[in-house]
Protein backbone atom coordinates (compact mmCIF):
# COMPACT_ATOMS: atom_id res chain seq x y z
CA UNK A 1 0.00 0.00 0.00
CA UNK A 2 2.80 2.36 0.97
CA UNK A 3 4.62 1.79 -2.30
CA UNK A 4 1.48 2.44 -4.35
CA UNK A 5 0.70 5.59 -2.39
CA UNK A 6 4.27 6.82 -2.74
CA UNK A 7 4.36 6.21 -6.48
CA UNK A 8 1.09 8.09 -6.87
CA UNK A 9 2.43 11.06 -4.92
CA UNK A 10 5.73 11.03 -6.82
CA UNK A 11 4.07 10.81 -10.23
CA UNK A 12 1.52 13.51 -9.36
CA UNK A 13 4.20 16.11 -8.57
CA UNK A 14 6.57 15.71 -11.54
CA UNK A 15 5.51 18.94 -13.27
CA UNK A 16 5.82 20.95 -10.06
CA UNK A 17 9.23 19.44 -9.35
CA UNK A 18 10.55 20.39 -12.80
CA UNK A 19 9.32 23.96 -12.35
CA UNK A 20 10.93 24.02 -8.90
CA UNK A 21 14.27 22.86 -10.32
CA UNK A 22 14.19 25.50 -13.07
CA UNK A 23 13.48 28.19 -10.46
CA UNK A 24 16.29 26.85 -8.25
CA UNK A 25 18.78 27.13 -11.12
CA UNK A 26 17.72 30.74 -11.76
CA UNK A 27 18.08 31.48 -8.04
CA UNK A 28 21.55 29.89 -8.14
CA UNK A 29 22.57 32.33 -10.89
CA UNK A 30 21.12 35.26 -8.93
CA UNK A 31 23.00 34.21 -5.79
CA UNK A 32 26.30 34.06 -7.69
CA UNK A 33 25.70 37.51 -9.21
CA UNK A 34 24.78 38.97 -5.80
CA UNK A 35 27.91 37.43 -4.26
CA UNK A 36 29.86 39.24 -6.98
CA UNK A 37 28.05 42.49 -6.08
CA UNK A 38 28.91 41.98 -2.39
CA UNK A 39 32.63 41.64 -3.12
CA UNK A 40 32.56 44.47 -5.70
CA UNK A 41 30.89 46.79 -3.16
CA UNK A 42 33.63 45.92 -0.67
CA UNK A 43 36.32 47.03 -3.14
CA UNK A 44 34.68 50.49 -3.37
CA UNK A 45 35.73 51.20 0.26
CA UNK A 46 32.50 53.05 1.07
CA UNK A 47 32.08 54.86 4.42
CA UNK A 48 31.39 52.27 7.16
CA UNK A 49 27.69 53.08 7.57
CA UNK A 50 26.94 52.78 3.85
CA UNK A 51 29.11 49.67 3.53
CA UNK A 52 27.23 47.94 6.36
CA UNK A 53 23.82 48.94 4.98
CA UNK A 54 24.67 47.79 1.45
CA UNK A 55 26.28 44.50 2.53
CA UNK A 56 23.34 43.62 4.80
CA UNK A 57 20.83 44.60 2.11
CA UNK A 58 22.47 42.25 -0.41
CA UNK A 59 22.74 39.51 2.24
CA UNK A 60 19.04 39.95 3.07
CA UNK A 61 18.08 39.60 -0.60
CA UNK A 62 20.26 36.48 -0.92
CA UNK A 63 18.84 35.03 2.30
CA UNK A 64 15.29 35.68 1.09
CA UNK A 65 16.00 33.89 -2.19
CA UNK A 66 17.34 30.85 -0.30
CA UNK A 67 14.41 30.83 2.14
CA UNK A 68 11.68 31.38 -0.47
CA UNK A 69 12.87 29.03 -3.22
CA UNK A 70 15.32 26.51 -1.77
CA UNK A 71 13.38 26.13 1.51
CA UNK A 72 9.96 26.33 -0.23
CA UNK A 73 8.73 29.10 2.06
CA UNK A 74 6.66 30.60 -0.75
CA UNK A 75 4.26 27.67 -0.58
CA UNK A 76 4.34 26.47 3.01
CA UNK A 77 1.54 25.84 5.48
CA UNK A 78 0.27 28.53 7.82
CA UNK A 79 1.67 26.74 10.88
CA UNK A 80 5.25 27.22 9.66
CA UNK A 81 4.65 30.93 9.00
CA UNK A 82 3.46 31.29 12.59
CA UNK A 83 6.58 29.51 13.90
CA UNK A 84 8.76 31.84 11.84
CA UNK A 85 6.79 34.93 12.88
CA UNK A 86 7.35 34.01 16.54
CA UNK A 87 11.06 33.47 15.81
CA UNK A 88 11.29 36.86 14.08
CA UNK A 89 9.48 38.53 17.00
CA UNK A 90 12.26 37.29 19.30
CA UNK A 91 15.17 37.57 16.83
CA UNK A 92 14.69 41.14 15.61
CA UNK A 93 14.61 42.81 19.07
CA UNK A 94 17.62 40.69 20.02
CA UNK A 95 19.60 42.33 17.20
CA UNK A 96 18.11 45.79 17.60
CA UNK A 97 18.65 46.19 21.35
CA UNK A 98 22.46 46.59 21.15
CA UNK A 99 22.18 48.90 18.12
CA UNK A 100 19.51 51.13 19.63
CA UNK A 101 21.10 51.34 23.06
CA UNK A 102 24.38 52.28 21.42
CA UNK A 103 22.91 55.08 19.31
CA UNK A 104 21.21 56.55 22.39
CA UNK A 105 24.52 56.88 24.15
CA UNK A 106 24.73 53.72 26.21
CA UNK A 107 28.02 51.88 26.43
CA UNK A 108 28.22 48.52 28.16
CA UNK B 1 3.15 0.65 17.67
CA UNK B 2 3.97 2.91 14.72
CA UNK B 3 4.63 6.59 15.27
CA UNK B 4 1.68 8.45 13.70
CA UNK B 5 1.93 11.13 11.01
CA UNK B 6 5.46 10.30 9.85
CA UNK B 7 4.19 10.55 6.27
CA UNK B 8 0.54 11.56 6.32
CA UNK B 9 -0.26 15.16 7.22
CA UNK B 10 -1.73 15.89 10.63
CA UNK B 11 -5.31 17.13 10.31
CA UNK B 12 -4.66 20.15 12.57
CA UNK B 13 -1.50 21.59 10.94
CA UNK B 14 -1.61 20.01 7.49
CA UNK B 15 2.01 18.90 7.99
CA UNK B 16 3.67 15.61 8.92
CA UNK B 17 5.54 15.41 12.23
CA UNK B 18 8.98 15.43 10.61
CA UNK B 19 8.27 18.72 8.82
CA UNK B 20 7.00 20.36 12.00
CA UNK B 21 9.99 19.08 13.97
CA UNK B 22 12.59 20.32 11.48
CA UNK B 23 11.04 23.82 11.33
CA UNK B 24 10.91 24.06 15.13
CA UNK B 25 14.56 22.96 15.19
CA UNK B 26 15.47 25.54 12.53
CA UNK B 27 13.71 28.23 14.59
CA UNK B 28 15.90 27.29 17.57
CA UNK B 29 18.96 27.44 15.31
CA UNK B 30 18.01 30.95 14.16
CA UNK B 31 17.86 32.00 17.81
CA UNK B 32 21.23 30.34 18.53
CA UNK B 33 22.99 32.18 15.72
CA UNK B 34 20.87 35.27 16.43
CA UNK B 35 22.24 35.41 19.97
CA UNK B 36 25.80 35.25 18.61
CA UNK B 37 25.08 37.88 15.94
CA UNK B 38 23.66 40.11 18.70
CA UNK B 39 26.85 39.49 20.70
CA UNK B 40 28.86 40.54 17.64
CA UNK B 41 26.84 43.76 17.31
CA UNK B 42 27.19 44.49 21.03
CA UNK B 43 30.95 43.89 20.98
CA UNK B 44 31.41 45.97 17.84
CA UNK B 45 29.37 49.03 18.88
CA UNK B 46 30.99 48.93 22.32
CA UNK B 47 34.56 48.74 20.99
CA UNK B 48 36.74 51.83 20.76
CA UNK B 49 38.28 50.40 17.56
CA UNK B 50 37.21 47.55 15.34
CA UNK B 51 39.54 46.09 12.68
CA UNK B 52 38.40 45.61 9.09
CA UNK B 53 37.80 41.90 8.60
CA UNK B 54 40.19 41.77 5.67
CA UNK B 55 43.02 42.82 8.02
CA UNK B 56 43.05 39.32 9.45
CA UNK B 57 40.90 37.26 7.07
CA UNK B 58 41.31 35.94 3.54
CA UNK B 59 38.49 37.41 1.41
CA UNK B 60 39.20 35.39 -1.80
CA UNK B 61 39.08 32.09 0.14
CA UNK B 62 35.85 33.13 1.87
CA UNK B 63 34.35 34.11 -1.50
CA UNK B 64 35.31 30.68 -2.82
CA UNK B 65 33.62 29.07 0.18
CA UNK B 66 30.49 31.16 -0.43
CA UNK B 67 30.30 29.88 -4.02
CA UNK B 68 30.92 26.31 -2.79
CA UNK B 69 28.08 26.48 -0.23
CA UNK B 70 25.64 28.10 -2.69
CA UNK B 71 26.49 25.37 -5.21
CA UNK B 72 25.90 22.71 -2.56
CA UNK B 73 22.45 24.17 -1.87
CA UNK B 74 21.56 23.78 -5.54
CA UNK B 75 22.84 20.19 -5.68
CA UNK B 76 20.77 19.51 -2.54
CA UNK B 77 17.67 20.78 -4.36
CA UNK B 78 18.59 18.56 -7.34
CA UNK B 79 19.04 15.57 -4.97
CA UNK B 80 15.59 16.18 -3.48
CA UNK B 81 14.03 16.67 -6.95
CA UNK B 82 15.64 13.44 -8.19
CA UNK B 83 14.34 11.34 -5.30
CA UNK B 84 10.91 13.00 -5.49
CA UNK B 85 10.77 11.88 -9.13
CA UNK B 86 11.83 8.37 -8.15
CA UNK B 87 15.35 8.50 -9.67
CA UNK B 88 17.49 6.98 -6.93
CA UNK B 89 20.74 6.92 -8.96
CA UNK B 90 20.55 10.67 -9.69
CA UNK B 91 19.67 11.30 -6.05
CA UNK B 92 22.87 9.56 -4.96
CA UNK B 93 24.89 11.50 -7.54
CA UNK B 94 23.64 14.91 -6.42
CA UNK B 95 23.69 14.04 -2.72
CA UNK B 96 27.28 12.84 -3.19
CA UNK B 97 28.21 16.16 -4.81
CA UNK B 98 26.53 18.01 -1.92
CA UNK B 99 28.61 16.06 0.60
CA UNK B 100 31.73 16.73 -1.48
CA UNK B 101 30.98 20.48 -1.50
CA UNK B 102 30.70 20.36 2.30
CA UNK B 103 34.07 18.66 2.43
CA UNK B 104 35.63 21.30 0.14
CA UNK B 105 34.20 24.03 2.42
CA UNK B 106 35.80 22.42 5.47
CA UNK B 107 39.16 21.92 3.74
CA UNK B 108 39.23 25.61 2.73
CA UNK B 109 38.28 26.50 6.31
CA UNK B 110 41.13 24.29 7.56
CA UNK B 111 43.64 26.25 5.43
CA UNK B 112 42.13 29.53 6.67
CA UNK B 113 42.37 28.49 10.32
CA UNK B 114 45.90 27.11 9.82
CA UNK B 115 47.09 30.43 8.38
CA UNK B 116 45.61 32.30 11.36
CA UNK B 117 47.27 30.00 13.90
CA UNK B 118 50.56 30.18 11.96
CA UNK B 119 50.52 33.99 12.28
CA UNK B 120 49.63 33.75 15.97
CA UNK B 121 46.05 34.99 15.47
CA UNK B 122 44.14 33.14 18.18
CA UNK B 123 40.70 33.66 19.77
CA UNK B 124 42.54 35.22 22.71
CA UNK B 125 44.34 37.75 20.48
CA UNK B 126 41.47 40.25 20.38
CA UNK B 127 37.67 40.53 20.52
CA UNK B 128 37.28 40.45 16.73
CA UNK B 129 39.13 37.14 16.41
CA UNK B 130 37.26 35.73 19.41
CA UNK B 131 33.86 36.33 17.81
CA UNK B 132 35.21 35.26 14.38
CA UNK B 133 36.36 31.87 15.67
CA UNK B 134 33.15 31.42 17.71
CA UNK B 135 30.81 32.17 14.80
CA UNK B 136 32.73 30.33 12.08
CA UNK B 137 33.56 27.43 14.43
CA UNK B 138 29.89 26.92 15.31
CA UNK B 139 28.95 27.23 11.65
CA UNK B 140 31.66 24.70 10.75
CA UNK B 141 30.19 22.24 13.28
CA UNK B 142 26.83 22.65 11.54
CA UNK B 143 28.48 21.87 8.20
CA UNK B 144 29.94 18.70 9.76
CA UNK B 145 26.52 17.78 11.20
CA UNK B 146 24.77 18.39 7.88
CA UNK B 147 27.38 16.33 6.03
CA UNK B 148 26.89 13.47 8.52
CA UNK B 149 23.13 13.55 8.00
CA UNK B 150 23.49 13.72 4.21
CA UNK B 151 26.05 10.89 4.24
CA UNK B 152 23.66 8.75 6.26
CA UNK B 153 20.86 9.39 3.75
CA UNK B 154 23.28 8.63 0.89
CA UNK B 155 24.38 5.36 2.52
CA UNK B 156 22.73 3.25 5.23
CA UNK B 157 19.67 5.50 5.66
CA UNK B 158 18.71 5.00 2.02
CA UNK B 159 17.42 1.49 2.81
CA UNK B 160 14.15 3.24 3.73
CA UNK B 161 13.71 3.99 0.03
CA UNK B 162 12.91 0.31 -0.58
CA UNK B 163 10.17 0.14 2.08
CA UNK B 164 8.63 3.64 2.14
CA UNK B 165 9.52 6.00 -0.68
CA UNK B 166 7.50 8.99 0.53
CA UNK B 167 8.94 8.77 4.03
CA UNK B 168 12.48 8.69 2.62
CA UNK B 169 11.72 11.62 0.29
CA UNK B 170 10.43 13.59 3.28
CA UNK B 171 13.66 12.85 5.16
CA UNK B 172 15.72 14.13 2.23
CA UNK B 173 13.60 17.29 2.11
CA UNK B 174 14.09 17.86 5.85
CA UNK B 175 17.85 17.29 5.57
CA UNK B 176 17.79 19.80 2.72
CA UNK B 177 16.06 22.38 4.90
CA UNK B 178 18.84 22.06 7.47
CA UNK B 179 21.52 22.31 4.76
CA UNK B 180 19.90 25.44 3.30
CA UNK B 181 19.89 27.04 6.77
CA UNK B 182 23.63 26.35 7.03
CA UNK B 183 24.02 28.12 3.65
CA UNK B 184 21.77 30.98 4.78
CA UNK B 185 23.80 31.57 7.95
CA UNK B 186 27.02 31.71 5.89
CA UNK B 187 25.42 34.26 3.53
CA UNK B 188 25.28 36.65 6.52
CA UNK B 189 28.57 35.56 8.14
CA UNK B 190 30.57 36.28 4.96
CA UNK B 191 29.96 40.05 4.68
CA UNK B 192 29.67 40.65 8.43
CA UNK B 193 33.01 39.04 9.34
CA UNK B 194 35.11 39.34 6.19
CA UNK B 195 34.01 42.54 4.43
CA UNK B 196 32.86 45.01 7.12
The complex scores an ipTM of 0.91
Q: What is the rounded CA–CA span in Å between residue A41 and residue B29?
A: 29
Secondary structure (DSSP) of A37-88: HHHHHHHTT--HHHHHHHHHHHHHHHHHHIIIIIS-GGG--HHHHHHHHHHH
Tens digits of residue pLDDT in A52-78:
899 999 999 999 999 999 999 998 899
Coil, strand or helix at B24: helix
Number of domains in chain A: 2
* Closest-approach residue (CA) in chain A for B183: A66
- Residue from the list A11, A42, A84 with its beta carbon closest to the beta carbon of B195: A42
Domain shared by A13 and A61, yes or no: yes
Q: Is A34 on the interface with B (CB under 8 A)?
A: no
* Angstroms from B120 CA to nearest CA on chain A: 26
Residues A48 and A23 in one domain: yes
Q: Does residue A39 have a pLDDT over 60?
A: yes
Mean pLDDT of chain A, nearest integer = 83
Residue range of the domain that includes A95: 76-108
Domains, chain B, with CATH or none: 17-195 (1.20.120.80)
Q: Is B85 helix (H, G, I), strand (E, B) or coil?
A: coil
> Quick one: A6 and A57 in the same domain?
yes
More confident residue, B12 or A8: B12
Cβ–Cβ contact B114 with A under 8 A: no
Which is more confidently placed, B157 or A105? B157
Amino acid sequence: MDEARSDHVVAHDHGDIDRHVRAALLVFGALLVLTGFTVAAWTLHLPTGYAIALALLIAAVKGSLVACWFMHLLSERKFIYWVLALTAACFIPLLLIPVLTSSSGYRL
Amino acid sequence: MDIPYTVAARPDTGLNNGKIAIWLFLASEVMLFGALFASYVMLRVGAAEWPAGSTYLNVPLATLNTVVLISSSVTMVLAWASIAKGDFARFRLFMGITILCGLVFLVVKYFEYSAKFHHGYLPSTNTFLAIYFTLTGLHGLHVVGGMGLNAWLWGPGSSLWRSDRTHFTNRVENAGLFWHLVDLVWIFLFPVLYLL
